């Protein structure tokens, strides 16, 4: 196969003009990450991550199973440098977001895509609204995504360089220690690079070592998570969590939507932006269809790499959180869109115009929502801050509804909580009559993230009348 033989040689070197274009695109990606820097945590999982940095215990969902051990471990190290829990976690997302453009460009070039197509694939990925937003949060998704992009690129370099192959294997183990889904994505390129580079005796040795090092890193990471939690408690937490996923989120759940509807939500409209979704779907379908008909193996290899995780997401993950979970295969979508644009336009100038328009549409659509983030804290943070300023923990008790429990554990650990709302301050999600309510506009951010915690209320107990 010609494509596989080509992988044994490096792609053509960049000229000076191309290096300047890549530098400019990288700078644009770096600067844009500051637009979505969150001032405080917002979502349930973020609070679980914050709690885990202080005390790792998967049985208490600090964090939720399987534990994300290397993500939390790295945050603990950053805290030694003076970061607080939130900014330690956020810093990793921000740095990963800044690396998106060069990492994705590196991958596309190793797949032998044209310079302009590679550059626009990288920019498309950086400015997908969900990738852009979550890059400023305390989630692990963008860090995980950027790591796996670098892994895939290194493994492709590994078709001709045994050292790169081994480095890719090491980083794949690390990426899986951040999020285990990365093993599903890295498996095909690891096998392809091992087969293509099999003629090189160092490659054979490093291939075996690569398998061993992946198993060692992943095994050590999750064994550490189990040890810190307690072996039996960790096993029970994993069992209970898998049962919960099967009963509520997976295709086995009795009330889940049809597989076709879930397919559309994950792969056609992961966020509620009809124009963007239509453009992405159109160009991605063109790329896949032409690649199958013409056997364009570089695109088919990318599809094969991400297909296992795409299937897992479709069958097993929460359909109400597609905006976040689709980040895992966002690199594939960016590559397909850029490739589809190239197939339609055929010329560099036309490709540049169309790709720039698509990117501009995404920026214009998302910018108003992101601008609102800069001057406000999240509703859970604002509500907790109000309680800390107005409610004395020595003389008052609070009632926290189930939806706000993780936020209360993080923000209000020194307050006594009661199990019934009678005669207590109440912290609730949503708008509550006669309560102090903290809200974020249901703007376009409402169409990207899971629709939770946009309104949080504090209900003050009525004073007894004499």
In this prediction the pTM is: 0.94
Place of tokens 């921000």: 94
Closest CA to 68 of 84, 53, 54, 86: 53
Q: Please report how many Cα atoms fall inside a 13 Å half-sphere around the Cα of residue 130, on the Cβ side.
A: 28
How far is residue 432's CA from residue 329's CA, in Å, rounded to a whole number?
A: 38
Q: Which two tokens stand for residue 287?
A: 């790329």
How far is residue 440's CA from residue 315's CA, in Å, rounded to a whole number?
A: 32
For the cut 70, the answer to whether the pLDDT of residue 200 exceeds it is no
How far is residue 279's CA from residue 287's CA, in Å, rounded to a whole number?
A: 12
* pLDDT score for 122: 98
For the cut 60, the answer to whether the pLDDT of residue 201 exceeds it is no
Above pLDDT 90, what percent of the chain? 85
**H helix or E strand, kind and range, residue 69:** helix 69-80
How far is residue 288's CA from residue 90's CA, in Å, rounded to a whole number?
A: 35
Could you give the 3-state DSSP secondary structure of residue 67? coil
Confidence of residue 376 (pLDDT cuts 50, 70, 90): confident
Summarised one tens digit per residue, pLDDT across range 80-96 is 999 999 999 999 999 99
* pLDDT score for 465: 42
Out of 184-198, 304-318, 335-349, which region has the weakest mean confidence (pLDDT)? 184-198
Confidence of residue 268 (pLDDT cuts 50, 70, 90): very high
For the cut 50, the answer to whether the pLDDT of residue 263 exceeds it is yes
SS (H, E, C) 372-421: HHCCCCCHHHHHHHHHHHHCCCCCCEEEECHHHHHHHHHHCCCCEEECCC
How far is residue 446's CA from residue 431's CA, in Å, rounded to a whole number?
A: 16
If you average pLDDT over residues 405-413, what whole number do you get? 95
Out of 26-30, 56-60, 116-120, 419-423, which region has the weakest mean confidence (pLDDT)? 419-423
For the cut 90, the answer to whether the pLDDT of residue 235 exceeds it is yes
* 326 or 195, greater pLDDT: 326
Out of 6-10, 23-27, 153-157, 170-174, which region has the weakest mean confidence (pLDDT)? 6-10
* pLDDT score for 407: 95
């Amino acid at each position: 196969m010609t494509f596989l033989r080509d992988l044994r040689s490096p792609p053509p070197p960049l000229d000076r003009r191309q290096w300047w274009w890549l530098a400019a695109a990288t700078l644009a990606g770096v600067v844009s990450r500051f637009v979505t820097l969150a001032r405080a945590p917002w979502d349930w999982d973020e609070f679980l991550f914050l709690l885990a940095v202080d005390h790792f215990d998967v049985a208490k969902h600090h964090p939720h199973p399987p534990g994300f051990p290397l993500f939390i471990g790295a945050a603990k190290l950053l805290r030694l440098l003076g970061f607080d829990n939130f900014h330690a976690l956020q810093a990793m997302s921000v740095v990963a977001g800044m690396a998106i453009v060069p990492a994705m460009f590196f991958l596309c070039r190793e797949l032998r895509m044209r310079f302009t197509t590679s550059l626009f694939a990288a920019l498309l990925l950086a400015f997908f609204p969900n990738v852009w937003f979550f890059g400023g949060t305390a989630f692990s998704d963008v860090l995980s995504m950027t790591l796996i992009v670098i892994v895939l690129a290194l493994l492709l370099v590994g078709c001709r360089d045994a050292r790169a192959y081994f480095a890719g294997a090491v980083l794949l183990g690390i990426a899986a220690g951040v999020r285990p889904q990365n093993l599903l994505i890295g498996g095909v390129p690891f096998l392809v690079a091992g087969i293509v580079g099999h003629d090189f005796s160092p490659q054979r040795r490093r291939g075996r070592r690569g398998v061993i090092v992946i198993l060692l890193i992943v095994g050590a990471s999750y064994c550490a998570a189990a040890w810190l939690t307690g072996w039996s408690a960790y096993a029970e937490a994993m069992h209970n969590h898998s049962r919960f996923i099967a009963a509520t989120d997976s295709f086995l759940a009795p009330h889940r939507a049809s597989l076709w509807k879930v397919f559309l939500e994950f792969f056609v409209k992961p966020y509620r932006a009809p124009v963007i979704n239509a453009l992405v779907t159109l160009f991605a379908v063109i790329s896949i269809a032409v690649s199958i008909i013409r056997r364009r193996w570089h695109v088919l290899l990318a599809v094969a790499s991400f297909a296992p995780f795409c299937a897992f997401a479709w069958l097993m993950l929460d359909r109400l959180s597609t905006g976040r979970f689709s980040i895992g295969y966002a690199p594939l979508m960016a590559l397909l869109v850029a490739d589809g644009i190239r197939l339609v336009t055929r010329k560099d100038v036309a490709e540049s115009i169309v790709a720039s328009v698509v990117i501009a549409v995404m920026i214009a659509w998302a910018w108003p929502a992101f601008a609102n983030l800069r001057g406000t804290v999240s509703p859970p943070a604002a509500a907790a801050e109000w309680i800390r300023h107005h409610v004395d923990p020595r003389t008052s008790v609070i009632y926290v509804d189930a939806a706000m429990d993780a936020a209360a554990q993080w923000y209000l650990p020194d307050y006594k909580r009661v199990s019934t709302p009678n005669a207590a301050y109440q912290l609730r999600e949503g708008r509550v009559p006669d309560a102090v309510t903290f809200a974020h506009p249901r703007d376009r951010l409402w169409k990207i993230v899971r629709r939770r915690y946009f309104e949080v209320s504090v209900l003050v107990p009525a004073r007894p009348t004499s």
